Amino acid sequence: MMVPDDNSPTVPNTPALPPNMPGGPIPPPAPPRPGSPGIDDRGRAPIWQVSRPQGQAGMGGISLGSFGVGFAIALAVLTIMVVGLILLLNVHNNKGSGLGEVPTTPPTAMPTQNAQIPTATPLPPLTSKAATDLSNLFYSYINSRDYQDAYNLLGSNLQAGQSAAAFAAQWQNVQSLSVDPTSLTAAAGDNGTQIVKLNYSQLNSDGSSTVVQATLQVGYDQNNLRILALNALPLGTPTPVTQPTATPGAQPTATPAPQPTSTPQPTGTPTSGTPAPSPTPGS
């Protein structure tokens, strides 16, 4: 007689098979024994281990342990994404419009000082000694025939009116030049200049000499001490140099030889060797 199988309700009159037989029901797993891996002394799994229920025929459904691990992984990934998004927004927009931005205090504008414009170093005031020294140096260059250095001491306005070659040509006939130190004077002029007056004598190549009074205006030109103006006035006409003349020596004079003179003889006394006078006819 066939009895219904509780395990197969859809197939009536199916003979029941003993456990562990092919096609028969699978017996439930044996209870864990104390001392087995993952089992404590009382035969129970630790509290941190989630039991995995078995489904029909040993094919269990969803595991609570695997579900907890997956949830933890998903939560970690979501946290990383949120943190990355917050960092990206903070970097992209520093004004605080992004998500998770840390408000920052705007920098306070500091008052700036007015920038100082560098100014040129003021030139030292021109003294009378500096002006007279420059004037002496100018004429000493001319006396040594160093015309280029003398020309370099002229201001730009004087150099514009005369070239260095023309300047040298006007001094070619001067053999020597000397400044009278007692004639040097200096007085303040316009715009910080000095007016120097001096006398110098020059010996010309033709042998004549001239005394000249010079007036020089000395001042700064392009930050250099220069002669800005120069006037020369001869004090007299050239004085010719007296040439030595030969003094004629004494000429010897011829002394005339003495002439013999006759001694008069007394009358009537014949002179020896002298013929007697002839008698005059008719005596």
- pLDDT digit string, tens, across residues 216-270: 999 999 999 999 999 999 986 555 545 544 455 555 555 555 565 555 555 554 4
Average of pLDDT values for 61-79?
Answer: 72
What tokens does 78 get?
Answer: 């979501």
Is residue 215 in some structural domain? yes
Q: What is the pLDDT of residue 92?
A: 65
Instruction: Say what the pLDDT of residue 160 is.
Output: 94
Strand, helix or coil at 155? coil
Q: What is the structure's pLDDT at 262?
A: 55
In-domain check, residue 222: yes
- Number of separate domains in the chain: 1
Residue 68 has a pLDDT of 72
pLDDT of residue 180: 94
Q: Which runs of consecutive H residues, i.e. helices, occur in 93-231?
A: 128-143, 147-152, 156-161, 164-169
Query: Can you tell me the mean pLDDT for 200-222?
Result: 93
Instruction: Report pLDDT for 278.
Output: 47
**Per 3-state DSSP, what percentage of the chain is helix, strand, and coil (rounded to 5)?**
25, 20, 55
In which band, very low, low, confident or very high, does the pLDDT at 159 lie, cut at 50, 70 and 90?
A: very high
Give the residue, 226 or 278, on which the prediction is more confident: 226
Domain annotation covers residue 153: yes
- Which band of pLDDT confidence, cut at 50, 70 and 90, is reported for residue 85? confident
Residue 270 lies in a domain: no
pLDDT of residue 279: 47
**Is the Cβ–Cβ distance between 241 and 208 less than 8 Å?**
yes
Specify which residues 229 forms β-bridges with: 217
Mean pLDDT of the 268-280 span: 48
Within a domain: 92: no
Q: How many residues make up the chain in this entry?
A: 283
- pLDDT surpassing 70 at residue 72: yes
Are the CB atoms for 198 and 214 separated by under 8 Å? Answer: yes
Long-range contacts of 185-190 (CB under 8 A, 24+ apart): 186/128, 186/129, 186/131, 186/132, 187/128, 188/128, 189/217, 189/219
* Cα-based torsion angle of the residue sequence 82, 85, 91, 97 in order, rounded to the nearest 10 degrees: -90
Q: In whole angstroms, what is the distance from residue 93 CA to residue 85 CA?
A: 12
Specify if 87 maps to a domain: no
pLDDT (0 to 100) of residue 212: 94
Q: Are strands 194-204 and 174-188 parallel, antiparallel or unpaired?
A: antiparallel
Residue 98 lies in a domain: no
What percentage of the chain exceeds 90 in pLDDT?
A: 37
What does the pLDDT average to over 21-47?
61
- Report the mean per-residue pLDDT for the chain: 73
Burial of 131 (0-12, 13-18, 19+ CB in 10 A): buried
Dig out the tokens for 153 from the structure. Answer: 């001491």
Indicate which CATH number applies to the domain containing 144.
3.10.450.100
The pLDDT value recorded for residue 282 is 45
Nearest to 178 by CA among 209, 217, 151: 209
Tokens of 98: 């992004």
The answer to whether the beta carbons of residues 198 and 218 sit under 8 Å apart is no
- Candidate from 10-24, 115-129, 138-152, 183-197 with smallest mean pLDDT: 10-24
Question: What is the domain range of residue 182?
Answer: 128-234
**Does 283 reside within a domain?**
no
Q: What integer is the mean pLDDT of 208-219?
A: 94
